[in-house]
Amino acid sequence: MNAVNPETKKPRMERDAVATRARILNVATREFARRGFEGATTDDIADKAHVNKRMIYHYFGSKERLYLAVLEEAYATARHAEEKLKLDADDPVSALSRLAEFTFDSFARDRTFISLLNTENRNEAKVLRKSEKIRAMNSTVLKAVDTILRQGEARGVFRSGLDAFQVWVSMVSLSYFYFSNIHTLSIVGGSRLSEAEALAARRRHVVDFVLAGVRA
């Protein structure tokens, strides 16, 4: 028989707005990435965040606005990582290969951003389009690629006339597609592409292919 415990009658109220909001956002990020917008449920998010479901509506207003907050945070995180990256200003070949490696490693470390982008594209980017925050975060990476390409062109190591947007899309796609489609590609390739050996082989190929694609 338990002694009457007044703390269990009306149990813990943490009353920590910052922590509760953050816990919801973290769990929601994982759930939206795993199950997509339709697949994720507010009941599940509330349970896994150890929070009363009403709190989702208290802090975010609706499922869609919670999803928007998740997207905005994911974008901010990705941009922040990009900005921390220091590229060799004097060697376009090393700068471009470093950027390709960085892209591959970012996706290899965490596929959350890929999953969210795929969900958003299936939904025709209707939510992302609305976000002033994300539209304001204009990427510095496109300018960096342009600088690298012009420098390489001037030095005669890259071919001329390359478009920064096209090259950037190509560089990203070589890593993105591998991780985005890793399950179906593993079936076609007949082996587990998430194993260390396969990852290393793909990483080498991506860097190689990007450099070969732009060289003079």
Q: Distance (Å, rounded) from C-alpha 96 to C-alpha 149?
A: 9
Which residue in this structure is represented by tokens 């960085």?
A: 102
Site for DNA in 4-43 (CB under 7 A): 10-17, 20, 40-43
Specify the residue, 35 or 58, whose C-beta has the smaller distance to a second copy.
Answer: 35
Q: What values do phi and psi take at 35, rounded to 5?
A: -110, -5
Select from 26, 30, 48, 53 the one that contacts DNA (CB under 7 A).
53
Which partner, DNA, a second copy, none, binds residue 14 by CB below 5 to 8 Å per kind? DNA
**22 vs 123 by CB, closer to a second copy:** 123
Q: Work out what residue 188 binds among a second copy, DNA, none; the CB cut-off runs from 5 to 8 Å by kind.
A: a second copy
Query: In the range 87-146, which residues lie near a second copy by CB under 8 A?
Result: 115, 117-122, 124-125, 128-129, 134-135, 139, 142
CB of 9 to DNA, least distance (A): 8
Q: Which stretch binds a second copy (CB under 8 A): 21-29, 87-95, 144-152, 159-167?
A: 159-167
Q: What is the Cα–Cα distance from 82 to 75, expressed in whole angstroms?
A: 11
Q: Rounded to the nearest whole angstrom, what is the least distance from the CB of residue 203 to DNA in the complex?
A: 37
Helix axes 164-180, 141-154, angle to 10 degrees: 120
Q: Rounded to the nearest whole angstrom, what is the least distance from the CB of residue 52 to a second copy in the complex? A: 25
DSSP β-bridge partners for residue 158: 215
Please tell me whether residue 133 binds DNA under the rule CB under 7 A.
Answer: no
142-148: long-range contacts, CB 8 A cutoff, minimum separation 24 = 142/168, 144/87, 144/95, 144/99, 145/96, 145/99, 145/171, 148/87, 148/92, 148/95, 148/96, 148/99
Q: Among 62, 94, 166, 173, which residue sits at the site for DNA (rule: CB under 7 A)?
A: 62
163 makes contact with a second copy (CB under 8 A): yes
Residues between 33 and 92 that touch a second copy (CB under 8 A): 34-39
- Residue 182 CA to residue 179 CA, distance in Å, equals 5
Contacts with a second copy, residue ranges (CB under 8 A) = 34-39, 115, 117-122, 124-125, 128-129, 134-135, 139, 142, 159, 163, 165-166, 169-170, 172-174, 176-178, 180-189, 201-202, 205-206, 209, 212-215
